[in-house]
Amino acid sequence: MEENRYKWAGILAVLQAVLFPVGMSIGIIEAVVAKELFNERRPFIGPSDLIMIVFTIIGVYTMLMFRRLLHERYDYHELDLLIIISIWWAVAFQAIGLVLSAILMIYWPVNIVVMAVTYAVFFTGAMVTIGIVDIMVATRLLKGTVAFGDHIRYLAYITMAAGICEVTVLLAPFSLILIPVSSIVLAMVFFRDRQEVEFV
């Protein structure tokens, strides 16, 4: 059996699964501490944002490696454009979120209604867009003529569930729970892909 060249991609996918809940938890703690101890209510850029930047960078890498795996193992290219869109979405979501926080820091205090509407429009647009992309990705993986390994099919089911939650917007928070789950399954794709291909 040839050495699995996707080992490090798998390790980073596991790290990605850990970073997301850690970043979210630290973000909540930051907000509570700032509000209760320092009476600081304006948004700010803190350690949780740095963690999420690392999370996004790793996510871009693992998506590119997944595309490469689909090319090399299955000669499958139908997800190329959707993966690139997902990458640009992830980068744009992170960048715009940081820019909005920076603007609020600089011009605080701001009109609460304006801030709420701005975040609502940004979040709604982002969730609907990535939800559609996720559903398309899952559909192509599940209806493709290629005999994918089990873990890729599991990844497709999780991606479909996340996409459905995202396009509803109101259920989008539930899709957050699926992020570390999908990262672990993706790691299994990288770790076990050689074995899966040999027995498909």
pTM above threshold 0.85: yes
The predicted structure's pLDDT at residue 40: 62
Nearest to 193 by CA among 76, 88, 81, 85: 76
Instruction: Establish if 138 belongs to a structural domain.
Output: yes
> Which structural domain range is residue 27 located in?
7-195
CA separation (Å) from 24 to 18, 19, 54, 55?
10, 8, 13, 11
Q: Which residue has the higher pLDDT, 144 or 53?
A: 53
Which string of DSSP letters, residue by residue, matches 71-99? Answer: HHHH---TTHHHHHHHHHHHHHHHHHHHH
Assess if residue 71 is contained within a domain.
Answer: yes
Residue 43 lies in a domain: yes
Q: What's the residue count for the chain?
A: 200
- Look at residue 196 and tell me whether its pLDDT is greater than 80: no
Residue 2 domain flag: no
Place of tokens 């939650």: 165
Which tokens sit at 29?
A: 């703690």
In angstroms, the CA 175 to CA 190 distance is: 22
The answer to whether 27 and 190 are in contact (CB under 8 A) is no
Cα–Cα distance for residue pair 83/134, rounded to 1 Å: 10
In degrees and rounded to multiples of 5, residue 191 shows phi and psi of: -70, -35
If DSSP codes are grouped into helix, strand and coil, which group holds residue 36? helix
Token pair in block for residue 179? 């992020």
Tally of domains within the chain: 1
- Please report which confidence band the pLDDT of residue 19 belongs to, taking 50, 70 and 90 as the band edges: very high
Q: Is the peptide bond before 109 cis (omega within 30 degrees of 0)?
A: yes
> Could you tell me if residue 188 is inside a domain?
yes
pLDDT digits (tens, 9 = 90+) for 73-97: 999 999 999 999 999 999 999 999 9
Is residue 67 pLDDT above 60, yes or no? Answer: yes
CA–CA distance from 39 to each of 49, 99, 101, 114, 133 (Å)? 20, 23, 18, 22, 40
Position 200 scores a pLDDT of 37
Average pLDDT over residues 179-189: 97
CA distance 71 to 58: 20
Domain assignment present for residue 128? The answer is yes
